[in-house]
Amino acid sequence: MRKTTKTLIALSIGLSFATQAADQRYIIQVDEGHKGLVKALAKKVGGELNVDGSGFIAATFSGKDLSTVKGLLNNPHVKLVEEDQRRVPLSLYSDDIGDPSVTQLTPYAVYQSQADQLTLNPSAGTKVCVIDSGLDQSNPDFVWSSITGDSDSGTGNWYEHGGPHGTHVAGTIGAADNDFGVIGMAPGVDMHIIKVFNASGWGYSSDLAHAASLCSAAGANIISMSLGGGSPNTTEENAFKSFTSDGGLVIAAAGNSGNNVRTYPAGYTSVMMVGANDADNNIAVFSQFPACSTFSTGKGKKSKTEIIDGSCVEITAGGVSTLSTYPQGMAVNSNLEADGQSIASSAMENAGIVTAESYFMGTAEAIDASANGKVCLIDRGVISFHDKVKNCEASGGLGAVIVNNVDGMLYGTLGDANITEIPAVGAALADRGALHAATQMTVKIAASDYGFMSGTSMATPAVSGLAALLWSNHSGCTGTDIREALKASAFDAGESGRDDYFGYGIAKVADASAYLDNMGCNTTEPLEDIELSATTSFSKGKDRVSLTWSGASSSRVDVYRNGLIQTTTSNDGSHEDTLRNAYGIYTYSVCNAGTNHCSSNVSVNF
């Protein structure tokens, strides 16, 4: 499935560039000394001059293909005629551009993960439990009638923020589909909010274990946790294992240290670990990439190493510069318009709004009286951002737009010693032409209810919202079915197959829905009458796991370790599994032989 998806995307890119090459715009290389003659010839045969370059011109010949233009420009002073190929910014996905206070914007990850291609089924009753810092009631971009929560005497009311993190996370999951703000992955989905930390920014594993029980009591199908720590905890692990065994899905962040350390709760096998990618399908530099735990099967030449799927990154989603909801007024946003066209920008300093004629100040190294009463358009370079804006203001400029001199958006500040007062924003090099062509600009910097954050904390609610969206369209599935479908249909963005950075790839929810349409749900319900327990010991240089069970009805049973069958043995109520150099978490179940009538999972930790 992943190979098919990747091939289709490659084809769509190829078709796009094939179409763009047919713009009837051509580059004509000329003898510089005879350029005027060639320009006159081009105009005579219907060409519209676009660029007058050194040793070449570019012109559009409407309705004429390359061979025709070559024939029309058959002149000894013409060296070469070739198609003028389009070049586009190499961001595969981007946010909508505009002011979220007056229009709804779609974050890039919605497009990237295909959430815009599937519709939430509200009657399915899918509910996401968000364990974080609360969801602030001041932001209006939610269907508040569909949101509940649990307050805590230690952290406060769930509907009052303990920092903006939880509100940002909740918006990525379920911000409403309306005419302002942003849209979530599963817009308007039912949510239950558990506030486990506040502005100090931390809680305990026991808080999470308790929160899991509250999520269950609230009827949640999915738990979303954009949090983590360095060590496992049995109580915490059992809480999430129980939620998963009851048919739920638990999703948590891999971590933001950019190393191969495993964090928890994401590192438990009952929890789906999520990494982050950017808008160009690249892994985020901060996204942690722990190697999967492994175990050996067989002996001698038949021995082979298997990974413990679920102990490492399983999937990724957009988590770099993610636009989402904030508590009221806690974010700062910029808006830039050039002749009424919205242009992407970044806020630098100084709140305010101004609309005026634009004036190009070059690199703004000196005061220029011609900028008086205008918005200064400034190139990056030579002097500091602060000094550029100071010179603009000293010239009588009302606002400043500083354009990057390398690819990408210009992000920056005016420094701690800022003495300027006019609003100043950064802009991308790709938009320089549009800005220079404009006669009037509007620059706005203001407090906002919407802002950007980066982290696996942002990718995790994206996957949680996608899971809710998918589950609402396939309500007969279990959480494990949803988890497996997301992995099976992910876009293979890293090394071929599963890798430590992307896991199985970037989440694609429409493809996951098609996968379930074709494959169905492989639901396996544990039978309550098979009860399993496990204890560990160490003897003769080996770790041992003693399994005991009761309630199996067949003469023989299948013993599973980490989802793989290890042996089929007599139903005598006990089995010892011997491990060499055991490390990590091992999960066992016992089933009537050849059936899916199984015990609940039981885990041990070495």
Active site residue 457: yes
Question: Which listed residue (205, 224, 457, 513) is catalytic?
Answer: 457
pLDDT of residue 484: 93
Residue 145 or 1, more confident: 145
**Residue 14 in this model has a pLDDT that exceeds 60:** no
**Percent of the chain residues past pLDDT 90, beyond the cut:** 63
CATH class of 531-605: mainly beta
pLDDT of residue 603: 82
- Mean pLDDT, the chain, whole residue set: 87
Q: What is the mean pLDDT of residues 478-490?
A: 95
Residue 231 contacts residue 473 (beta carbons within 8 Å):
no
Q: What is the mean pLDDT of residues 264-291?
A: 94
Question: Which listed residue (141, 152, 165, 345) is catalytic?
Answer: 165
**Percent of the chain residues past pLDDT 70, beyond the cut:** 91
pLDDT for 574-583, tens place per residue? 999 998 888 7
pLDDT category at 405 given cuts 50, 70, 90 is very high
Residue 114 contacts residue 160 (beta carbons within 8 Å):
no
Q: Pick from 82, 78, 73, 84: which is nearest to 32 by CA?
A: 78
Cα distances (angstroms) measured from residue 536 to each of 295, 543, 548, 585: 16, 7, 12, 12
Secondary structure (DSSP) of 86-139? ----S-SS----S-TTTSEE--HHHHHTTGGGS---GGG--EEEEEES---TT-
Active site residue 599: no
pLDDT of residue 88: 37
pLDDT category at 99 given cuts 50, 70, 90 is confident
Residue 496 or 52, more confident: 496
**Which has the minimum average pLDDT: 40-44, 97-101, 127-131, 484-488?**
97-101
**Residue 20 in this model has a pLDDT that exceeds 50:** no
Among 125-129, 159-163, 295-299, 406-410, the range of highest mean pLDDT: 125-129
Query: Which CATH superfamily includes the segment(s) 108-321+456-518?
Result: Peptidase S8/S53 domain (3.40.50.200)
pLDDT of residue 1: 31
Exposure of 166 by Cβ count < 10 A (0-12 exposed, 13-18 middle, 19+ buried)? buried
**Residue 114 in this model has a pLDDT that exceeds 70:** yes
Region 331-448: CATH code: 3.50.30.30
pLDDT of residue 199: 62
**Which has the minimum average pLDDT: 128-142, 234-248, 335-349, 527-541?**
527-541
**Which has the minimum average pLDDT: 8-17, 74-83, 197-206, 345-354?**
8-17
CATH class of 1-87: alpha beta
**Residue 543 in this model has a pLDDT that exceeds 60:** yes
Question: Which listed residue (84, 95, 99, 132) is catalytic?
Answer: 132
- Token pair in block for residue 233: 């905890």
pLDDT category at 524 given cuts 50, 70, 90 is very low
pLDDT for 169-224, tens place per residue? 999 999 999 999 999 999 999 999 999 886 666 677 888 888 999 999 999 999 99
**Residue 84 in this model has a pLDDT that exceeds 90:** no
Range list for CATH 3.30.70.80 in the chain: 1-87
E strands, 5-47, are 25-30
E strands, 254-303, are 271-277, 294-297
Exposure of 268 by Cβ count < 10 A (0-12 exposed, 13-18 middle, 19+ buried)? buried
Q: For residue 469, give every residue at least 6 positions away whose Cβ sits within 8 Å of its Cβ, in sequence order, or none.
A: 115, 118, 120, 185, 186, 189, 509
Range list for CATH 3.40.50.200 in the chain: 108-321+456-518
**Residue 3 in this model has a pLDDT that exceeds 60:** no
pLDDT of residue 526: 43
Q: What is the mean pLDDT of residues 531-555?
A: 90
pLDDT category at 21 given cuts 50, 70, 90 is very low
**Residue 97 in this model has a pLDDT that exceeds 50:** yes
**Residue 296 in this model has a pLDDT that exceeds 70:** no
pLDDT category at 85 given cuts 50, 70, 90 is low
pLDDT for 308-359, tens place per residue? 778 899 999 999 989 999 999 998 889 999 999 999 999 999 999 999 999 9
Q: What is the mean pLDDT of residues 364-385?
A: 96
Helix (H, G, I), strand (E, B) or coil at 28: strand
pLDDT of residue 9: 24
**Residue 593 in this model has a pLDDT that exceeds 90:** no
Q: What is the mean pLDDT of residues 503-521?
A: 94
Q: What is the mean pLDDT of residues 95-112?
A: 89
Q: For residue 87, give every residue at least 6 positions away whose Cβ sits within 8 Å of its Cβ, in sequence order, or none.
A: none
Range list for CATH 2.60.40.10 in the chain: 531-605
Between CA 291 and CA 268 the distance in angstroms is: 13
**Residue 19 in this model has a pLDDT that exceeds 60:** no
